[in-house]
């Protein structure tokens, strides 16, 4: 009888101890898009390279949406920037325009976003000023370059022979958004206007290769 009582007490203690153990909750695996950015090229013949996670460099994206009243189509212009808080040198590549009907959708659908980027993959894209892209509903790119001193230089559509070529590397989505990962190659001239004297100076960016992404 005593043996039975001890067994019951022991069982109760084990059960109580087991109920106090916190079981580890393992979260389900997350589907995260692998985002990497890099830029190599030449500025007036001098090679430069900006790489994500080196010297503080990382990439970010933004978009500019212009909503127009129907029947005119609204527009989105996408930008991708590689920059560092530790260094002034950076570059922004702007690409537009994706046209859509704002009366049907508040923004381009994922299918529109993916199809537009794929359609422009492998096709030479002319350089255009952002205002021209919006006004004329044309596809175009613009480069904004910041040098080591913090001066900001802009490409111009009036300079001849400038084209960019996109290759879409991957299109994927995760919990943070929808992405179109690309590699863009281009050569162009960028301009700086002195705010004091209005004197214009130009730089030649050549054989540039930019890997990054646009986000819907």
- Residue boundaries of the structural domains of the chain: 33-215
Using a cut of 0.75, tell me whether the model's pTM lies above it: yes
Angstrom distance (rounded) from CA 155 to CA 90: 14
Distances from the Cα of 87 to the Cα of 25, 36, 51, 53, 209, angstroms: 42, 19, 12, 13, 20
5 pLDDT tier (thresholds 50, 70, 90): very low
How confident is the model over 114-159, as pLDDT tens digits?
999 999 999 999 999 999 999 998 999 999 999 999 999 999 999 9
Q: Tell me, what's the pLDDT at 113? A: 98
Contacts of 179 (CB under 8 A, 6+ apart): 33, 35, 170, 171, 172, 173, 213, 214, 215, 216
Q: Are 206 and 42 in contact (CB under 8 A)?
A: yes
DSSP, collapsed to helix, strand or coil, labels residue 20 as helix
How confident is the model over 162-196, as pLDDT tens digits?
999 999 999 999 999 999 999 999 999 999 999 99
Which helix (DSSP H) or strand (DSSP E) does residue 41 occupy?
A: strand 38-43
């Amino acid at each position: 009888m005593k043996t039975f009582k001890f067994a019951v007490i022991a069982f109760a203690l084990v059960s109580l101890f087991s109920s106090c153990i916190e079981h580890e909750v393992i979260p389900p695996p997350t589907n995260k898009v692998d985002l990497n950015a890099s830029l190599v090229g030449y500025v007036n013949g001098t090679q430069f390279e900006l790489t994500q996670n080196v010297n503080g460099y990382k990439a970010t994206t933004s978009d500019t949406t212009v909503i127009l009243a129907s029947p005119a189509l609204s527009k989105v212009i996408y930008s991708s920037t590689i920059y560092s808080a530790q260094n002034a040198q950076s570059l922004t590549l702007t690409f537009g325009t994706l046209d859509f009907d704002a009366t049907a959708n508040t923004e381009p659908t994922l299918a529109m976003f993916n199809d537009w980027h794929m359609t422009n993959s492998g096709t030479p894209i002319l350089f255009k000023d952002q205002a021209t892209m919006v006004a004329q509903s044309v596809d175009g790119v613009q480069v904004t370059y910041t040098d080591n001193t913090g001066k900001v230089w802009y490409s111009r559509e009036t300079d001849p022979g400038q084209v960019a070529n996109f290759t879409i590397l991957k299109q994927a989505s995760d919990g943070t958004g929808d992405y179109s990962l690309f590699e863009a190659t281009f050569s162009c001239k960028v301009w700086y206007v002195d705010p004091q004297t209005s004197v214009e100076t130009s730089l030649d960016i050549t054989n540039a290769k930019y890997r990054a992404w646009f986000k819907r």
